[in-house]
Structure 1
């Protein structure tokens, strides 16, 4: 089985503007994704807002921490899943169930992990 990191991106302002019903539907879609993936989901989580991020950059005396994400962009990393799937096609089929795939302000990136021997 290959391992994939499913990165969930979106617009924080759009997420914040969701109605309670939209939030419930969004949550239900994630539950459906996890149910469909079953034991293939190895981990995952929702990230705190980008205002809480700390980035490290090179400095004269070593790494320098700065507030905020590494780059400024409208779509931010909001969560992730670590999962196993037989192949990329299976990972795509599962990730397609995530609500962020259908939202105009969101998206999902699928990245295979480098497997070490």
Structure 2
């Protein structure tokens, strides 16, 4: 099976301590749902709030995320799925879609 990154975007500043309790609980159950759909989790993590981010470019460092937008990267889950369509099917079941969205990208290698 191929590996895919599910990039979870949430409303800025994507502070998980402010997420609704039912959403946090659903994220815990999501791992079981991925298995039921025939995929598996390789790894995953939530990120600290984007207010603590630093953007590094060739000309210097600035405070905040790299891109200023209403939704910011809040977490990453690496999954195994049959193909991109299967990975999208898995992503559609994520509670990460409730307040934000998920970008699905296949890993190289």
- Do both proteins adopt the same fold according to a TM-score greater than 0.5, normalized to the shorter chain? yes
Is the radius of gyration larger for structure 1 or structure 2? 1
CA RMSD in angstroms comes to: 2.3
Structure 1 runs of 4+ off > 4 angstroms?
A: 13-16
TM-score, normalised with respect to structure 2: 0.82
> 2-side partners of 1:14 and 1:70: how far apart?
14
Counterpart position of 2:89: 93
Greater shift in the superposed pair: 34-43 or 2-11:
34-43
Q: Tell me the distance in 1 between the aligned counterparts of 2:97 and 2:4.
A: 17
CA deviation after TM superposition for structure 1 residue 95, in Å: 1.0
- Structure 2 unaligned regions, length at least 5: none
Paired positions, count: 106
Q: Does 1:55 align with 2:51?
A: no
Question: Structure 1 stretches of 5 or more lacking a match?
Answer: none
User: Normalised by the size of structure 1, how large is the TM-score?
Assistant: 0.77
Mapped partners of 1:14, 1:42: distance in 2: 23
C-alpha distance in structure 2 between counterparts of 1:71 and 1:23, whole Å: 25
Once the two structures are superposed, the pairs formed by residues 1-117 of structure 1 within 5 Å of their partners are 1-12=1-12, 23-38=20-35, 40-59=40-59, 64-103=60-99, 106-115=100-109
Q: Deviations over 1:12-58 (max 9, x none)?
A: 36867x6xxx7221022212221122471111111111111111111
